[in-house]
């Protein structure tokens, strides 16, 4: 393989110096013990010598997929002990599921573990580099991805797992792999080798060992140029996002749903652009050609009296109701809930389990706030509540409340007694301050 002859360990140092200078949050390093993450962690410990306030933690995720995983965990802990870095090891269970390979499931479980550990207490750093970016772009090309997919990985990104936000940064994304290898050699670092990385049955490994070497033989600096193309496509994707915002205007396009009137008067290319924007920006999900085709076919013949749905591979379902498009967690539809009011408020007034209800419904009840005290709770509606509130079914219909939301609509209760159907009506005895 032809390698970049201008690769230097200093490229690793410079990239991390730039990142650390712009970031004051605690840094959580995804540490597998391999070459890439070992270089990342070591370089950060060297920067810490001149920046003692640099808060470093290393996290090893034990997938249980390799017989040597326990040894790798011990290796990582020993390295962190030697380098005076706080160390966490998290076990996860990985099972292949329908329509997802073991790689995808392991990656999902890994990031879920990171999110639940870190939450909003810092930034997750991963050691993705320029070669990883080239592999990602080539794999996206093979899948028939559009501009967004072909733009590859971004230097920083936000992910959401069960309402838990995770901020991820890739400070080495523009650094050649050879620079990481040169850094490791210069500092005489030791790392573990995962034998599965040589298995070309995995698509990324096939690209790495069979495709990229041929590119590098034919074109000098091909990895660098592929990464450059990804950067240019990222700029194009940003322009498409701006166009989507123009097309959306003042219509609803949020985590609560997409107003399908947004699509009126747009050609199919711009409709797809709006849909992709909604999926990626608000739902944090990818959208593929089969979803596009279902939406195109369904919207062409849609009638408001129908409620079509489309199951996604990740346990979510798309539903159309009342000229709005929703994306719902199928397993949680209709699941009852009960919270004391204080705790529910800390969840930003959103129904847990990802079936979300717009905050406007929480703002339109007339309960006197003197009642907001111990004993007040918010729960899902009971059948008996319908009897206590005549006219509720008509109100649901007039306000175009989706059927699946009617089943779990929020009710305010005081010592388990009905106080109000949020957005609809408050019992008269609770509209005045308590005596």
Tens-digit pLDDT string for the chain (435 aa): 334 457 899 999 999 999 999 998 999 999 999 999 999 999 999 999 999 889 999 999 998 778 888 999 999 999 999 999 999 999 988 775 544 567 777 888 899 899 999 988 999 999 999 999 999 999 999 988 889 899 999 999 988 776 678 999 999 999 999 999 999 999 999 999 988 888 888 889 999 999 999 998 998 889 999 999 999 999 999 999 999 999 999 998 887 789 999 999 999 999 999 999 999 888 878 888 899 999 999 988 887 777 899 998 777 889 998 888 988 877 777 778 787 766 554 343 444 333 445 545 554 455 555 555 567 777 888 888 888 888 888 988 888 788 888 888 888 888 878 888 877 877 766 665 554
C-alpha closest to that of 295 among 285, 305, 309, 281:
309
Domain with CATH 3.40.50.620 in the chain: 9-233
Q: What are phi and psi of 202, to 5 degrees?
A: -80, 130
Domain with CATH 3.30.465.60 in the chain: 249-329
Q: Tokens in use for 401? A: 């409340």
Residue 33 marked ligand-binding: yes
C-alpha closest to that of 29 among 70, 4, 3, 61:
61
Q: Tokens in use for 328? A: 């719902």
Q: Which residues touch 332 (CB under 8 Å, ≥6 apart)?
A: 352, 353, 354, 355
Q: Which residues touch 206 (CB under 8 Å, ≥6 apart)?
A: 200
Residue 32 marked ligand-binding: yes
Helical packing angle, 130-142 and 222-248, nearest 10°: 60
Helical packing angle, 268-277 and 289-300, nearest 10°: 120
Residue 163 marked ligand-binding: no
Torsion of CA 318, 320, 326, 330, to 10 degrees: -40
d(CA 251, CA 259): 6
Which DSSP symbol is given to 319?
Answer: E
Residue 37 marked ligand-binding: yes
Residue 196 marked ligand-binding: no
Residue 231 marked ligand-binding: no
d(CA 184, CA 197): 19
Domain 249-329 CATH class label:
alpha beta
Q: Tokens in use for 190? A: 């030791």
d(CA 374, CA 174): 54
| Cα atoms in the 13 Å half-sphere on the side-chain side of 74 | 4
Whether residue 389 contacts residue 425, with contact meaning beta carbons closer than 8 Å, is answered with yes
Q: How many C-beta neighbours within 10 Å does residue 224 have?
A: 18
Q: Under CATH, which number does the domain 9-233 receive?
A: 3.40.50.620
Q: Indicate the pTM of the whole model.
A: 0.78
Q: Let me know if 41 is exposed, middle or buried by CB neighbors in 10 A (0-12, 13-18, 19+).
A: buried
d(CA 165, CA 147): 25
Q: Which residues touch 226 (CB under 8 Å, ≥6 apart)?
A: 133, 134, 137, 138, 215
């Amino acid at each position: 393989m032809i390698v970049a002859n201008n690769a230097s360990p200093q490229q690793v140092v410079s990239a991390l110096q730039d990142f650390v200078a712009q970031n004051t949050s605690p840094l959580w390093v995804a540490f597998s013990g391999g070459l890439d993450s070992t270089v990342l962690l070591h370089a950060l410990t060297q920067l810490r010598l001149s920046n003692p306030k640099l808060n470093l933690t290393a996290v090893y995720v034990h997938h249980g997929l390799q017989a040597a995983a326990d040894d790798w965990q011990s290796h990582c802990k020993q390295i962190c002990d030697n380098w005076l870095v706080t160390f966490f090891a998290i076990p996860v269970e990985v099972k292949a599921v329908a329509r997802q390979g073991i790689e995808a499931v392991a990656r999902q479980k890994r990031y879920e573990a990171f999110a639940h550990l870190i939450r909003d207490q810092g930034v997750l750093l991963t050691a993705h580099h320029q070669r990883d970016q080239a592999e990602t772009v080539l794999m996206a090309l093979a899948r028939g991805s559009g501009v967004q997919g072909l733009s590859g990985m971004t230097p920083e990104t936000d992910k959401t797992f069960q309402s838990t936000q995770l901020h991820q940064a890739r400070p080495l994304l523009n650094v050649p792999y050879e620079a990481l290898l040169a850094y490791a050699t210069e500092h005489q670092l030791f790392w573990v080798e995962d034998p599965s990385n040589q298995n070309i049955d995995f698509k990324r490994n096939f690209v790495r060992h069979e495709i990229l070497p041929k590119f590098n033989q034919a074109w000098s600096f091909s990895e660098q140029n592929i990464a450059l193309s990804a950067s240019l496509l990222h700029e194009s994707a940003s322009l498409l996002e701006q166009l989507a915002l123009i097309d959306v205007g003042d219509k609803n396009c949020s985590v609560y749903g997409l107003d399908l009137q947004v699509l009126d008067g747009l050609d199919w290319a711009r409709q797809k652009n709006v849909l992709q924007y909604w999926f990626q920006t608000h739902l944090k999900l990818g959208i593929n050609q089969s979803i596009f085709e279902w939406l195109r076919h369904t919207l062409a013949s849609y009638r408001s009296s129908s409620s079509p749905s489309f199951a996604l591979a990740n346990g979510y379902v798309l539903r159309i109701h009342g000229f709005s498009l929703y994306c719902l967690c199928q397993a949680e539809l209709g699941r009852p809930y009960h919270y004391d009011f204080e705790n529910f408020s800390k969840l930003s007034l959103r129904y847990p389990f990802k079936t979300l209800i717009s905050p406007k419904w929480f703002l339109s009840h007339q309960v006197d706030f003197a009642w907001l005290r111990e004993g007040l709770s918010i729960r899902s509606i009971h059948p008996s509540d319908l009897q206590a509130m005549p006219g509720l079914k008509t109100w649901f219909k007039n306000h175009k409340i989706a059927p699946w939301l009617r089943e779990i609509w929020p009710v305010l209760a005081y010592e388990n007694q009905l106080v109000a159907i949020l957005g609809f009506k408050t019992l008269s005895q609770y509209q005045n301050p308590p005596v």
